[in-house]
Amino acid sequence: MDRPIIELQHTTKSFGPVKVLKGINLTAYAGHVTALVGDNGAGKSTLIKGLSGVQPYDGGTVLFDGETVNIHHPREASRLGIEVVYQDLALCDNLDIVQNMFLGREETSGATFEEGDMEVQAAAALQSLNVRTVESLHQKVASLSGGQRQTVAIARSVVKQAKVVILDEPTAALGVAQTEQVLNLVRRLADSGVAVIIVSHNLQDVFKVADEINVLYLGTLTARLKTSDTNPNDVVGYITGTKTMEEVAS
């Protein structure tokens, strides 16, 4: 707990003359849920794309488990143990749960798939997260609800033995019951020792599951707050720019 699994130091990113990230410092710890909030255009997507290797940062330092790393491609992020679950989930409707969880990294023996081994690993991943809403591992993803799809996407990161899981708006377009199911899953994922970074516009969800809230405003990290020490009104103030950390210090 003394050392973060992920630490960004003065990270920057520009697109032409537009400075999107202006020297961001961010930490994420194993076993914790770290929330990243901010209005549209604050830089949240750019920040996580840098961590995932999709759009490498222009400057700054990225530390992974205390070691300086360079992440220039998603494969490099994956090798470190960083997995991203985007809003679209990247699932194939025509494949079943096991096939989706191992898509692109199938277990093989010679020229054949080790379907039995993959099924065992998929079942173990779901069991480790205490998932009980899936009737069969051979259900086609097309037949699953939104909450169940999110469950499969998160469990896929467990199969990949991720150390850091970044969730991009994981409860978007979900109903009340499905949202509760996914938030419980996020908490269990962190409790298993994974560092979870959750990007969300829904402050109610953030306050239910996050240990720490980081607020981005126009490419600057304006607040880093323990969830237990703040409230939604203060966070909204930071998001809209009407409140600053200098005001808190004074």
pLDDT score, position 159: 87
pLDDT score, position 111: 62
Buried b (16+ CB within 10 A) or exposed e, 145-175: ebbbbbbbbbbbbbbbebbbbbbbbbbeebe
106 belongs to a structural domain? no
Distance CA 198, CA 187 (A): 11
Query: Could you tell me which residues are beta bridge partners of residue 112?
Result: 109
Averaged pLDDT in 10-residue chunks for the chain of 250 residues: 90 97 97 96 95 96 96 94 87 92 79 82 88 88 90 88 94 87 92 96 96 96 95 96 62
The domain of 179 spans 6-91+163-249
Radius of gyration of the chain from Cα atoms?
Answer: 18
The pTM of this model reads 0.88
**Quick one: DSSP state of residue 65?**
T
101 belongs to a structural domain? no
Distance CA 93, CA 73 (A): 26
| C-beta neighbour count of 96 within 10 angstroms | 20
Count: domains in the chain = 1
CATH number for the domain harbouring residue 167: 3.40.50.300
182 belongs to a structural domain? yes
Distance CA 130, CA 127 (A): 5
Find out whether 234 and 243 touch, Cβ atoms under 8 Å. Answer: yes
Q: What are phi and psi of 110, to 5 degrees?
A: 70, -125
127 belongs to a structural domain? no
Find out whether 105 and 160 touch, Cβ atoms under 8 Å. Answer: yes
What the block records as the tokens of 179 is 């949202």
232 belongs to a structural domain? yes
198 belongs to a structural domain? yes
pLDDT score, position 89: 76
Distance CA 125, CA 119 (A): 10
